[in-house]
Amino acid sequence: MQPLTRSRARASHILGNNRNALLMTNAIKSEFSRAYESISWAEEAILELNMEIRDFFKKDIATVITEVNPNTREHVQKLRMTQLLPKHFRRKATEALTNSRHAFDQATFAARNLTGKRSQKSVYYPWSQSPTDLKRLLSERGLDNALWRTFESHEPYPRSDAYIGGDDVMRSLATMANGKHTVGLSIQAHITRVGLPRT
């Protein structure tokens, strides 16, 4: 869920760096309303999912199985799930991911219309493969030079030894959203307490 929790700050940043120049009038607020709405929906989906996950794990959903290693004779304890994760968990996570991705595109569309020539033609957030690729996309998509520094500060490309910077977490948001499939969820167990048998 880490990529989703960053989306509000990054999408808002597209507007934030230009707030003084644009004076944040009602017209500007209206232009960015869809992006903020998508961010709000994503946050609501994340909160709802977190609450449902907590409720799910409060139930008796797993059992501990003890096995003996035939080679070492050590007793090995394993946690076996007795219930599957509810399918609607993936739907809720997919909803959060999709709305987060939409917010980037909607904020880019709004920023383009406010700083350049207004158009109904779609323009998408410049997810890229490298800093060079980012500059190419910014130029091809006709985004005003005043916005370039904002997008460049996001570093929306994977990390690499070939250049400095990059954000793998942010890039994974685009990769998952482009997959056009539901989000896969897995369970990770962490040991918080160890008890020793009584002798």
DSSP assignment letter at 162? T
Closest CA to 159 of 125, 129, 127: 129
**CA angle 115–130–99, rounded 5-degree value:** 60
Q: What is the pLDDT of residue 186?
A: 74
Residue 129 counted as domain residue? yes
Task: State the Rg of the chain over Cα.
Answer: 23
Residue 136 counted as domain residue? yes
Residue 62's SS3 state is: strand
Residue 60's SS3 state is: coil
Q: What is the pLDDT of residue 6?
A: 57
Residue 193 counted as domain residue? no
Q: Domain of 39?
A: 2-58+85-178
Residue 164 counted as domain residue? yes
Helix intervals (H) in 58-184: 87-115, 131-140, 145-154, 168-178
Q: What is the pLDDT of residue 170?
A: 83
Q: Tokens 């739907």 identify what position?
A: 91
Residue 67 counted as domain residue? no
Q: What residues have CB less than 8 Å from 119, skipping those under 6 apart?
A: 112, 113
- What is the pTM assigned to this prediction? 0.72
Residue 65 counted as domain residue? no
Q: What is the pLDDT of residue 137?
A: 94
User: Rounded to whole angstroms, what are the CA distances from 103 to 40, 89, 186?
Assistant: 9, 21, 26
What residue ranges of the chain have pLDDT lower than 70?
Answer: 1-24, 177-184, 196-199
Residue 189 counted as domain residue? no
Q: What digits encode the pLDDT tens for the residues 6-57?
A: 555 565 555 555 544 445 577 788 889 999 999 999 999 999 999 999 999 8
Q: Which two tokens stand for residue 77?
A: 């304890």
Residue 147 counted as domain residue? yes
Structural domains of the chain, count: 1
Question: Cβ of 73: how many Cβ atoms within 10 Å?
Answer: 7
